[in-house]
Structure 1
């Protein structure tokens, strides 16, 4: 049987476990789950975290604009981020590869074809593509979406079976429960417009997206007939628990 293809989007708060540095333990947790599931699923990863990785090593002297500093930090941090993935995944028998994309790549048919061909060859040869925005030339995700939109566009282009967005909550909470601190997860939903009414506008400490960008990502995926799950990546075994139906998370139907 053909393996199901999952696009896993990992935000900065998941990778840092809401601290000020990349968590090797979290990356190992992700790797162990992928290794456990590799006979039935193939994974493509869209990962944030380059800026967070850089902040562990450097403090830049600057007089420039804040966005340019973040671009420079991303350029410094991206190789460190990939090294941490490579080291942890290699110990589990998993091989990694890097793909840097920008939004303009999705607007040109030739670029789209190149992305698909490259990623399909990587996956066919058991290399896990780890995708991030090319922050040197593009600032969209730094400013707005923490790679949520990039993940959705990639999922749609590759026609994956599932878009799995890891964040720091048990999915999307109802607005009323969020206000009173009870945090009731919306488990299944089909109408994106219903979901938009429940989303609050807050953003997390390291990430730039918040839930609004995740709803926008799910909208892109839904138009491509792809289901989106929003899961709590801070918890151990969050991928396998979601697939086995033993965690609270939000499923946005295709």
Structure 2
């Protein structure tokens, strides 16, 4: 399929969403974390990988034995403060089984808009990659209110991909890709395998009715940001077996957004 040759890809930003790391009660699911780490390590050789991960709030909910996700911003931030360390401990446990070192980076919008902070961030990322470390990146939920309003790290992942000069952005979610309608509510929804250009019409459609499209708006915006900087983007289902290996092998999984030339 057009654009599915990823054989030359060496630096990858992978974003995994909350739903791909938590259970039906919105708590961190170690089995899902373990699968994700396995998927990462299956494509690690010869490549540099940066991970943008959600899940801190879910980890905090489990530790605090909260039965429902809080709906107040201050409670979400407090749960994230409790959960971020647990999230990292869980990642460390699984990555250590492969002897793979990891690093935590908590970012805010200012890390990308302030020139000196951006340079420092880029230098840190470059040094970590040179040392063979996988950066585990999350927005600093306890202070970054906009992330919690949006509910995911899609735009953060696009920023990381752009400013780390990634060759590919992979967004893993709980859906198979971009559909013509929300597949969870419409039997006639069709998977869009290829998006050659993110048109204003597409942006308007997913923005006007984000529920109908399964919460695709920020994912489409992230793909637009990445592809406008020449970075192809794939949106796929994290639950697929060997999802990363199959994507990098050129299999038609998910939706491919082609880069603008």
Relative to the length of structure 1, the TM-score reads: 0.89
The answer on 1:153 being equivalent to 2:159 is yes
Return the offset for 1:222: 1.6
SS in 1 for 2:143: coil
Asked if the contact 1:228–1:252 (Cα under 8 Å) also holds between the matched residues in 2, the reply is yes
What corresponds to 1:233 in structure 2? 238
What CA distance in whole angstroms lies between the structure 1 residues aligned with 2:9 and 2:172? Answer: 21
What corresponds to 2:75 in structure 1? 69
Is the alpha carbon distance of 1:236 and 1:65 closer, same or farther for their aligned partners in structure 2, counting shifts above 3 Å? closer
What CA distance in whole angstroms lies between the structure 2 residues aligned with 1:22 and 1:177? Answer: 25
Q: 1:13 aligns with which of 15, 19, 26?
A: 19
Asked if the contact 2:181–2:212 (Cα under 8 Å) also holds between the matched residues in 1, the reply is no
Q: Deviations over 1:85-127 (max 9, x none)?
A: 0001101221111000000111111111111110111111111
Aligned pairs (5 A) from 1:1-254? 4-16=10-22, 18-58=24-64, 66-175=72-181, 180-193=186-199, 195-196=202-203, 199=206, 200-202=209-211, 210-254=215-259
What corresponds to 2:4 in structure 1? none
Is the alpha carbon distance of 1:183 and 1:144 closer, same or farther for their aligned partners in structure 2, counting shifts above 3 Å? same
Gaps of 5+ in 2: 1-6
Asked if the contact 2:18–2:152 (Cα under 8 Å) also holds between the matched residues in 1, the reply is yes
Return the offset for 1:65: 8.1
Is the alpha carbon distance of 1:163 and 1:203 closer, same or farther for their aligned partners in structure 2, counting shifts above 3 Å? farther
What CA distance in whole angstroms lies between the structure 1 residues aligned with 2:142 and 2:205? Answer: 35
Gaps of 5+ in 1: none
Q: How many residues align?
A: 247
SS in 1 for 2:63: coil
Asked if the contact 1:145–1:213 (Cα under 8 Å) also holds between the matched residues in 2, the reply is no
- Most deviating of 108-117 and 240-249: 240-249
